[in-house]
């Protein structure tokens, strides 16, 4: 997260130094999530068997990408800058981290663990801009052996620094990280599904998809004609009592990770399903309405966050004449603010449901985005440059800071509740495979970021002067849509 946000304060200035328009700054930020969309699928498939190997590869890609980004000034190449950011996106390990949390934490502490993940995410988002402020004071211009001209300043410093930090990360993971022996989160998810099927007395024979050979139910009473043999063999269905369920789960807990991933709880056999059905058909079959809703909400949430944060450098540079230091300080304060908020959200998660808390977060987001809408820009006599300073309804620096802090804080806190909710409603048939909750969350979240960054770039080309309203007005309606979706579908957004 530090690597993603450390370039934001200087992105517009870096683009200028490379001879391009301010509007392209959105693409410098946006290429990273676009590339991460592709790598996430690979990492998800890879993490079916191991966490360590994809994490190491992600660290290597991030190290190379950041070095290329920093070297763009030396070669005066915007192409090298953009390619470097794309490779950095290929090294995004977010999907692996999220899946690790979903697979290795129990339901009782899942939201708290996700909140902790959100807290360190916010800390990285704060350290990025904060470090960018310090790097802006650096001005090194020397000739190095073999490498040649070396520029280290506020524009290239973020790339060089992150390259070094990712190298340290790579070494640390190589020698200290170990894959877990048991994925207890998956075990609990399957047990909950089994208990639910038992309590409802369901018996399903899904001949289309052998992943659900049978659901577990209590033994049936003998038929009235006393034909016990027919009752026990009919349709070859598996009948298990609650004692058998407990026995199966105790056996699962004692097995290694590969056993858990493929054969825990005999009523789900993911390997047989994938051998008979295409991956797409299998995924669509098991994505339930709550999963679809959570995915859409995460997409809108990340889209709104990008509208608020990724546009800061361009908006403040043209409206208020802010420098890299000003933008970096705002992001730094925003990031630090999230730390106590995430701690609070982790505490509240022990008493309130995820769906309830996400409504509150969305409401605060709506307030923050509303404060960022400048109604004076709709007037025909608006200033041609800057903003309508002195007008009562104008968004000046103070109101911009306040709205940004409220919106950013609410969206980031909502991250923990939405991520936790998605990991709880996703069926185990998906959780044990490539299309797990971590991948779904990363794909839609990263997709929201990518679309948001591209949207900012397009709107900046449309009208740089009115960019604030061009991104905030749509964001306002996106938040309203999210609140409406949760309220209408509140009853089905519950955990298994």
Instruction: Note the pLDDT tens digit of each residue in 410-456.
Output: 988 887 788 778 777 777 666 555 566 667 777 787 788 878 888 88
**What does the alpha-carbon distance between residue 148 and residue 107 come to, in Å, rounded to a whole number?**
54
What's the mean pLDDT when you consider all of the chain? 77
- Whether the pLDDT of residue 357 is over 60: the answer is yes
**What does the alpha-carbon distance between residue 358 and residue 363 come to, in Å, rounded to a whole number?**
9
Count of CB atoms situated within 10 Å of the CB of 19: 8
Q: How confident is the model at residue 475 (pLDDT cuts 50, 70, 90)?
A: very high
Residue 370 has a pLDDT of 95
- Maximum distance among all alpha carbons in the chain? 95
**What does the alpha-carbon distance between residue 264 and residue 183 come to, in Å, rounded to a whole number?**
11
User: Cα 127 from chain centroid?
Assistant: 18
What is the chain's length? Answer: 496
**C-alpha dihedral sign at 462, 371, 297, 93:** positive
Q: How confident is the model at residue 349 (pLDDT cuts 50, 70, 90)?
A: confident
* Adjacent-strand bridge partners of 141: 151
Q: Which of 31-40, 110-119, 311-320, 456-465 has the lowest mean pLDDT?
A: 110-119
Tell me the pLDDT tens digit for each residue of 130-140. Answer: 888 888 888 88
CB of 69 within 8 A of CB of 32?
Answer: no
Q: What's the average model confidence in pLDDT over 460-465?
A: 85
* Highest mean pLDDT out of 19-33, 55-69, 120-134, 418-432: 55-69
* Highest mean pLDDT out of 153-162, 176-185, 254-263, 337-346: 153-162
State the pTM of this model: 0.62
Delimiting residues of CATH 1.20.1250.20 domain(s) in the chain: 2-181+287-492
Q: How confident is the model at residue 283 (pLDDT cuts 50, 70, 90)?
A: low
- Whether the pLDDT of residue 213 is over 80: the answer is no
The DSSP result for 184-197, as a single string, is: HHHHHHHHHHHHHH
> For domain 2-181+287-492, which architecture applies?
Up-down Bundle (1.20)
Q: 391 — alpha (psi -120 to 50), left (phi > 0) or beta? A: beta
Q: What's the average model confidence in pLDDT over 282-304?
A: 80
**What does the alpha-carbon distance between residue 25 and residue 311 come to, in Å, rounded to a whole number?**
9
Q: What is the token pair recorded at 206?
A: 């899904």
User: Cα 324 from chain centroid?
Assistant: 26
Q: What's the average model confidence in pLDDT over 80-104?
A: 86
Counting residues of the chain whose pLDDT is more than 70, the rounded percentage is 76
Residue 431 has a pLDDT of 57
The helix/strand count (H/E) of the chain reads as 22, 2
Residue 430 has a pLDDT of 62
């Amino acid at each position: 997260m530090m690597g993603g946000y450390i370039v934001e304060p200087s992105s517009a200035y870096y683009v200028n130094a490379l001879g391009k328009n301010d509007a392209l700054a959105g693409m410098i930020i946006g290429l990273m999530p676009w590339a991460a969309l592709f790598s996430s699928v690979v990492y998800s498939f890879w993490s079916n068997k191991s966490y360590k190997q994809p994490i190491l590869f992600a660290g290597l890609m991030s190290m190379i990408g950041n070095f290329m980004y920093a070297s763009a000034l030396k070669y005066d190449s915007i192409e090298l800058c953009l390619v470097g950011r794309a490779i950095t996106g290929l090294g995004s390990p977010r999907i692996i981290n999220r899946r690790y949390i979903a697979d290795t934490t129990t339901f009782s502490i899942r939201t708290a663990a996700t909140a902790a993940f959100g807290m360190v995410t916010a800390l990285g988002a704060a350290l990025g801009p904060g470090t960018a402020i310090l790097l802006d004071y650096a001005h090194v211009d020397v000739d190095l052996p073999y490498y040649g001209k070396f520029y280290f300043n506020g524009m290239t410093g973020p790339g060089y620094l992150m390259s070094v930090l990712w190298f340290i990360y790579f070494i640390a993971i190589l020698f200290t990280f170990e894959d877990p022996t048991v994925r207890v989160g998956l075990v609990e998810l399957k047990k909950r599904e089994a208990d639910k099927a038992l309590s409802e007395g369901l018996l399903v024979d899904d001949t289309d998809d052998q992943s659900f050979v049978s659901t577990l139910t209590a033994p049936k009473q003998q038929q009235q004609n006393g034909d016990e043999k027919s009752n026990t063999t009919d349709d070859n269905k598996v009948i298990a009592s609650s004692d058998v369920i407990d026995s199966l789960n105790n056996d699962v807990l004692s097995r290694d990770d590969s056993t858990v991933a493929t054969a825990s709880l005999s009523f789900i056999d993911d390997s047989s399903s994938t051998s008979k059905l295409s991956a797409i058909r299998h995924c669509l079959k098991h994505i339930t309405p709550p999963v679809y809703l959570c995915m859409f909400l995460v997409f809108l949430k990340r889209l709104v966050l990008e509208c608020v944060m990724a546009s800061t450098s361009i908006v403040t540079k043209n409206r208020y004449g802010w420098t890299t230091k000003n933008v970096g300080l705002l992001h730094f304060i925003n990031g630090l603010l999230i730390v106590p908020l995430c701690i609070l959200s982790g505490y509240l998660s022990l008493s309130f449901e995820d769906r309830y808390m996400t409504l509150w977060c969305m409401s605060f987001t709506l307030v923050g985005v509303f404060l960022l809408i400048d109604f004076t820009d709709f007037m025909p006599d608006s200033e041609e440059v800057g903003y309508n300073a002195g007008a009562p309804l104008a968004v000046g620096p103070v109101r911009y800071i306040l709205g940004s802090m409220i919106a950013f804080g609410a969206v980031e806190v909502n991250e923990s509740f939405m991520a936790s909710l998605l990991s709880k409603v996703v069926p185990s048939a998906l959780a044990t495979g490539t299309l797990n909750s971590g991948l779904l969350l990363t794909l839609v979240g990263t997709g929201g970021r990518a679309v948001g960054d591209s949207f900012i770039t397009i709107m900046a080309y449309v009208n740089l002067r009115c960019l604030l309203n061009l991104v905030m007005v749509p964001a306002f309606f996106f938040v309203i849509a999210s609140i409406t979706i949760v309220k209408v579908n509140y009853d089905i957004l519950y955990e298994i």
